[in-house]
Copies of this chain bind each other. A is one copy, B any other.
Amino acid sequence: MNTCTLGIDYGTNSVRALLVQTASGEPVATSTWNYAHGDAGIILDPQDPDVARQHPDDYIEGLKQTVRAVVAEAGEKGIGPDAIIGIGVDTTGSTPIPVDADGEPLTHDPAFKEDPAAMAWLWKDHTAHAEAAEFTALAGEHRPGYLAKCGGTYSSEWFWAKVLRCRRSAPHVFEAAHTWVEIADWIPALLTGTTHPDQVRRCICAAGHKAAFHPDWGGYPDAEFLALLDPALADLRQTLPDTACTIGDAVGTLTESWAQALGLRAGIPVAGGAFDAHLGAVGSGVRPGVLVKILGTSCCDMTVAPLSADLPDIPGLCGIVPESILPGNHGLEAGQSAVGDIFNWFVNRIAPGGSEAGSHEGLTEAAAGLRPGESGLLALDWHNGNRTVLVDQRLSGTLVGMNLHTSPGEIYRALIEATAFGARVIMERFEEYGVTIERVVNCGGISIKNPLVMQIYADIMNRPLEISRSSETCALGAAMAGAVVAGPDAGGHADFDAAAQAMTGVMDTVFTPIPENAAVYERLYRLYRQLHDTFGTSPGPGDAQNIMKDLLAIRDEVKGGS
């Protein structure tokens, strides 16, 4: 029988289910459902641009909507539930939800149903910057190892900062929560009936990259350290296990009730969860020497190195975690907090309506007519902070070089270039620390939809850029995990090497650097690095690294005083 495997991909605005052929990775059926709550699925706070939450009900409803649709579509093609041998799940993260002693989200309690603090704290929620700084400072003093594995700075986007922020800003929620669970762990637990806090498996991907979990110190941070942040965190530590699973581990099998709800066969294995970027890398065929860039609203840069390799700690990397991407390999994660989000901001929020039409298409056309360096503009791509290599959410976007003729198309191109310069900083940081990049494989919406962006990236990174064959690499990677946990006897794969060989590939199109563009961009890149270091690092006097922070301090005071 030609078997299939199911990947479920929880994104920032929607959830997607993808059913693929186990033998080839070819799609059989797919379905997407947009979250119903908030602004495109995100609960915002007009008073605080740092707030970004999601309603757990959207995750459950999205699961039903998309999987049922996929099963129905497969059935129309003559593929029944028996052919579906395994399930994998990827989600955004760090996106933890507070749950009660039974593992139920607090939002299932009517008292918390509409309370943003009781919802999922979406990856891009940046309210916890003070708590992140506190973690960084305390770890620097007492547990430097915690920082070495996460790039030297704990982020406001991560688990402990968010939980501590909730403790301080919404103590009623913190008190009501028995523990906090990443949605990457909670969805597989839901499907396998293991949401109880004693049973829920925590994946190394989320735990290792966002919660300072590492085998070197026996798992999560110790209670003594957490008590320095807040004694309540030491209590919370008791609810967390000392081990973590990989995507090669089944966390359980599909329950009878969920099998009925989704139209699947009960008992098929569900793989340990992982973040979308990690499984996107898997779905793009990541292996040692291959950098996978997942280019969407933000960008994740993922690669792996054999566990046997002698890897140094790499300053500014979000994390180096054993087996977080592929079993048997160190997982290396870097990224940019905003890429497509910056372009979307310019088109939708600024909405330039001048000589170029106010659309991505019109602005792309205008930008494509420009040569590198022609506008005299240079931007910093920090509209949502800087994840790698500065790990600082309180940096902000900057545009230098405007004159009275500066056009929307010029600004649009400068914003694209800024994100490409940021991408090059990340690639160079990998290589500076001995992680060789032989190939760059891109996936995500931008890689498929915008050849101008890809050409600019090739010119600025000065590398040929390949494009993943699948347009749904995250869901494909999740489906690959489903195939691996199902195993060869059930029609799946023995390991991820075999799954990648069978199920992944790249397109014929390769974006190759144009030498004359690359030459100009070499010069602009040096200026970008200077601007980057002027605002973003603190080597010595004369720099401007305080300016962005001071602006935010004034802003916060002004808003706080209202």
Interface residues, chain A, CB within 8 Å of chain B? 49, 338, 341-342, 345, 348-354, 358, 371-378, 383-384, 396-408, 411, 520, 523-524, 527, 530-531, 534-535, 539-544, 546-548, 550-552, 554-555, 557-559, 562
Contacts and interface: CB of A to CB of B under 8 A. Distances in A.
Contacts of A378: 547, 551
Given A523-B554, A551-B376, A552-B376, A400 B396 contact: yes
7 contacts: A350-B406, A373-B554, A376-B555, A397-B406, A398-B400, A527-B547, A539-B542
A348 B353 CA distance: 9
A352 B539 CA distance: 38
A555 B374 contact: yes
Nearest 9 CB-CB pairs, A to B?
A542-B542, A397-B402, A353-B353, A376-B555, A351-B354, A373-B554, A373-B558, A351-B353, A49-B405
A518 to B, nearest CB: 13
Nearest to A358: B353
Contact of A352 (B352, B407, B540, B557): B352
Copies per assembly = 2
Given A399-B399, A520-B554, A552-B376, A349 B531 contact: no
Contacts of A376: 396, 551-552, 554-555
Nearest to A542: B542
Given A399-B399, A542-B540, A371 B558 contact: yes
Contact of A403 (B353, B397, B524, B531): B397
A49 B376 CA distance: 11
Contacts of A348: 354
Given A358-B353, A520-B558, A562-B371, A342 B404 contact: yes
Nearest to A541: B542
Nearest to A562: B371
Contacts of A49: 403-405
Contact of A400 (B338, B384, B548): B548
B374 A403 contact: no
Nearest to A372: B558
Contacts of A543: 534, 542-543
Contacts of A341: 404
B399 A398 contact: yes
Contacts of A397: 401-403, 406
Contacts of A345: 404-406
A346 to B, nearest CB: 10
A401 B551 contact: yes
A206 B358 CA distance: 44
Given A376-B552, A398-B401, 16 more contacts: A350-B350, A350-B352, A350-B408, A353-B353, A353-B358, A374-B558, A376-B554, A376-B555, A377-B551, A397-B403, A400-B547, A400-B548, A401-B548, A540-B542, A541-B542, A543-B543
